[in-house]
Amino acid sequence: MDINTLHYFSVIAEKKSFQAASQLLAVPRSTLSRKIAELETALGIQLLNRTTRQVSLTETGMLIYQQCQRMDDVYESIMAVAQNSSSMPKGVLRVSVPVTLGRLVFARWMVAFNKQYPHITLDICLSDSYENLVENQIDVAIRVGDLKSSSLVCKKIGMTPRWLVCSQAFARQHKPEETRQLNELPLISLKTDQIPGDRWRLSRKGRTELYDIKPAIQVNDMMTLLEIVREGAGIGMIPYFVAKPYLSPNELTRIMPEYEGELATFHLIYQKRDNMPRKIRVFIEFISQAMRDEASLQTG
């Protein structure tokens, strides 16, 4: 019995679709269909109920799928032991990184990482979405904020405050001193699946309050928000590490400095493993140190 066929069956059962499994495995759908048919013939039982839209497990298919999951865990443990015994970490490492962090600092870090570990092939995905690490075969993700699931490791590695920022030209015309004055001015806000675009959390002297705002412009990309603010369109709440390169007499300025937005806290997210592959372990160590060395990501 081919172990690859059992793996194919496990993925098809998880995705409930030959097409989805084909895309994930990079194996033609016709090949998967043939392999599963051969497996059912070899076992003398039907494993899947097939319809035009999806597949479902038979009762026996469910029992075999549960055994396949255990087999996958054993296979991963064997590969981890083999990789960890190697003197040089190697293999493909899939990493998911927030878009803004990736553009501003992560690319620089990865050049250094690649020089230090040339046998590790980096597969980097810039995304602000909270993808499922297991389903998307992601080894490590960097995320802003805490993780809800307890099935994954969540390691805090850095933080940066969010500041109220505007262009120098805008500041010369408008000088708000209290939060109630903000809605009298054009506000530029970030709106994502995790961040509401009509509410800011501001702290002053240890006291934190939520403020409903009426933004003139909402955008789902921080770098675009930054450019809009640089153009003098209004006030934005921008993480310090994003604004830092532009805080100068001719660019951006911080207004109402006694107020500070909610800290942006960065975490490394990865699966719990008995035998973590060395490529993942060295990456975690490298990124943790890179974060500690980055002053703008250790503020607050």
Q: What is the dihedral of CA 142, 148, 154, 160, to 10 degrees?
A: 50
- Say yes or no: 51 and 12 in one domain: yes
Cβ atoms 101, 296 nearer than 8 A: no
Q: Which two tokens stand for residue 290?
A: 């890179």
- Tokens describing residue 5: 């066929």
AA identity, residue 42: A
166 and 29, same structural domain?
no
- Per DSSP, helices labelled H in 86-158 are 99-101, 107-116
* Helical H segments across 160-296, by residue range: 168-173, 222-230, 240-243, 278-293
What is residue 187's predicted lDDT score, i.e. its pLDDT? 95
**CA distance to 191, 221, 244, 245, per residue, from 233 (Å):** 17, 16, 19, 19
- Cβ within 8 Å of residue 129, ≥6 positions away: 193
pLDDT (0 to 100) of residue 164: 95
Question: Averaged in consecutive runs of 10 residues, what is the pLDDT profile of the chain (300 residues)?
Answer: 82 88 88 90 90 83 86 70 68 92 92 94 89 83 76 87 94 89 92 82 88 92 95 94 87 93 89 84 93 77
Q: Which two tokens stand for residue 122?
A: 């980096």
Handedness of CA 103, 151, 265, 233 (dihedral sign): positive
Q: Are residues 22 and 139 in the same domain?
A: no
Q: What pTM was computed for the model? A: 0.66
- Chain Cα centroid distance, residue 114: 20
Q: What is the pLDDT of residue 69?
A: 79
Within this chain, do residues 153 and 167 fall inside the same structural domain, yes or no? no
The answer to whether 268 and 155 are in contact (CB under 8 A) is yes
Same domain, yes or no: 163 and 260: yes
Cα Rg for the chain, rounded, in angstroms?
Answer: 25
Q: How far apart are the first and last CA of the chain?
A: 57
Domain boundary among 68, 85, 102: 85
Same domain as 203, residue 65: no
Whether residue 77 sits in one domain with residue 96: no
Residues 13 and 147 in one domain: no
Residues 48 and 96 in one domain: no
Which of these, 140, 190, 162, 193, lies nearest to 265 by C-alpha position? Answer: 162
Domain count of the fold of the chain: 3
SS3 16: coil
Q: Please list, in sequence order, all residues whose beta carbon lies within 8 angstroms of the beta carbon of residue 274, skipping any fewer than 6 positions away.
A: 77, 80
At 173 the pLDDT is: 92
Domain boundary among 32, 57, 85: 85
Joined tokens for residue 222: 């921080």
pLDDT at 6: 86
What confidence tens digit (pLDDT) does each residue in 251-270 have? 999 999 999 988 888 999 99
Domain that includes residue 30, residue range: 3-85
Q: Can you give the CATH number for the domain in which 200 is found?
A: 3.40.190.290
**Residue whose tokens read 């250790």:** 298
Write down the pLDDT at residue 166: 95
Domain boundary among 85, 116, 141: 85
Neighbours of 191 (CB within 10 A): 16
Task: Report pLDDT for 147.
Answer: 65
Q: Following DSSP, what letter does each residue of 225-243 receive, concatenated?
A: HHHHHHTTS-EEEEEHHHH
What's the pLDDT score for residue 198?
85
Determine what percent of the chain falls in helix, strand and coil, rounding each to the nearest 5: 45, 25, 30
Cβ contact 146:284 at 8 Å: no
Q: Which residue has the tokens 């390169």?
A: 245
The verdict on 77 and 172 lying in the same domain is no
Domain CATH number, residue 111:
3.40.190.10
Residue closest to 37 by CA, chosen among 15, 5, 14, 63: 5
Q: Are residues 11 and 48 located together in one domain of the fold?
A: yes
The answer to whether residues 153 and 163 belong to one domain is no
